[in-house]
Structure 1
Amino acid sequence: MSELTIRTADLSDAADVLAFWKSAAEGTSVSDDEAGVTGLIARDPGALLLAESGGLLVGSVIAGYDGWRCSLYRLAVLPSHRRQGVATALLDAAEKRFVALGGRRGDAMVLEVNERAQKTWAAAGYHREDHWRRWVKPLTQPLTP
């Protein structure tokens, strides 16, 4: 693999990130559209971290900090680049960001059915907290393609 570079996303990356998530991420989010990605970048310019190798987008993680919680979403690695340290490098960058902002603990959203992801998070030192459950309420109607 070419040298890995981790950088923050900018507004011009939105379409590429969305295409990347279709091939590399598990599941979908209500925010998986250009407005969602550009809104994230505009609101918190350092939150969306991208990994590139040889000019190719090979990984992403959203490392959002609201002053209270350090939240991790959309850790995804291109299938052809898995098990090569991309996720580790992204999480390292996310954790450094959180510490610099005063964060105390990282919380990750991980799909119950994604055993591969659960192993990745465990290997990075994260553990499941069974006493919490996510509660959601849609605030908008989903966009139809």
Structure 2
Amino acid sequence: VLAFWKVAAEGTSISDDRDGVERLVARDPGALILAESGGELVGTVIAGFDGWRCHLYRLAVHPDRRRRGVASALLTAAEERFVRLGGRRADAMVLENNGTAHHAWGSAGYAREERWRRWVKPLTG
């Protein structure tokens, strides 16, 4: 997954390391949704639910597989997961300067939320 994200995902996250992915899968194995074709990883999304909010991270599709419905299938799987868990609204972390991602998210029915701004504080380092 980490090698895949280096090819298919924009930007990096503080959790983009083996320990971060292992912690995610250990805590919530259903959160990491993978799309495969012929045994090859072609897409990912993290569908995290904390009991209150549904968060989407790391929607990534291999550049050679884009515009073929992979992202739509991943988002459908994530949304179905959220509904099963009792989620009411999904939100996505999208890089501000990733225009390709903005188009993909908009096509999937997501809209930019202008009222909120993310505030962050790294807990390590």
TM-score normalised over the length of structure 1: 0.86
Report the alpha carbon displacement of residue 138 of structure 1 after superposing the two structures with TM.
0.7
Residues 71-86 of structure 1 mapped to structure 2, 5 A cutoff: 71-86=55-70
Aligned partner of residue 42 in structure 2, secondary structure? strand
Residue type at the aligned position of 1:81: R
Q: Does 1:135 align with 2:105?
A: no
Amino acid at match of 1:113: N
1:110 counterpart residue number? 94
**Pairing partner for 1:38 from 11, 14, 22:** 22
For the aligned residue pairs, the C-alpha RMSD in angstroms reads 0.4
Unaligned runs of 5+ in 2: none
SS of the counterpart of 1:90? helix
CA offsets per residue over residues 83-106 of structure 1, 9 Å max, x none? 000000000000000000000000
Structure 1: gaps of 5 or more residues: 1-16
Matched residue type, 2:105: W
Q: Tell me the equivalent position of 2:103.
A: 119
TM-score of the pair, normalised by structure 2: 0.99
Q: How many residues align?
A: 125
* Amino acid corresponding to residue 61 of structure 1 in structure 2: V
Counterpart in the other structure of 1:67: 51
- Displacement of 1:110 after TM fit? 0.4
Which amino acid in 2 is paired with 1:22? K
Q: Specify the SS of the correspondent of 1:98.
A: helix
CA–CA distance in 2 between the matches of 1:62 and 1:44? 10
Partner secondary structure for residue 27 of structure 1: coil
CA distance in 1, matches of 2:104, 2:117: 20
Matches within 5 A, 1:89-100: 89-100=73-84
Query: Where has structure 1 moved over 4 Å in runs of 4 or more?
Result: none
Percent identity over paired residues: 74
